Amino acid sequence: MNRRTVLQSAGVGALAGLAGCLDGIQSQFQGRVQGRIPIEITNESDRPQNIRLEAYETGTDRQTYDENYSVRSGELVHPPHLDELEQRFRVIRFEGEESSSVATARISPDAQLVFITVYADDVELEVVYDEDEAENVSTEDDENATAGAGDENAS
């Protein structure tokens, strides 16, 4: 057997093996990739506010989200995103250890943004479904934005 035939056989074998790998990788991605819904929290009061965010999947009541935050005055926080599924979402504002105001909403996979505004005596929850409106809302106060990862000290 000459050198050219050996190299040709090795090349064909390698390509056949690679084709099998590509089919295996492709089969992993044929399902729908689950999206994420961003959340933004702003504090319009003159003091820090403690809030809790909860979400429950519609139909099963499985808890899909549970986060606590202490948001400083004038701060914009971007907590971890929600899963893109049918769910009930609740925001609870605390005064000390007692809950003082609650806002709830149903969120569908079509939601583009969940916008939460905390006031001195209330909390407002807005679910944005229009993509253009979501872009406008999310770019208004970006100079005060912080990632939500380090502010989890409320209860």
Q: How do the pLDDT tens digits run along the chain, 155 residues long?
A: 677 787 787 777 666 666 666 555 554 554 444 569 999 999 999 999 999 999 999 999 999 999 999 999 999 999 999 999 999 999 999 987 777 889 999 999 999 999 999 998 999 999 999 877 656 655 554 544 555 444 444 44
123 within 8 A of 51, measured Cβ to Cβ: yes
Q: Which of these CATH numbers, 3.30.960.10, 2.60.40.1120, 3.40.50.620, 3.10.20.600, describes 36-150?
A: 2.60.40.1120
Per-domain boundaries in the chain: 1-31, 36-150
* pTM beyond 0.75, yes or no: no
For residue 36, give Cα distances in angstroms to 76, 99, 117, 147. 19, 28, 20, 16
Phi, psi of 67 (to 5 degrees): -140, 145
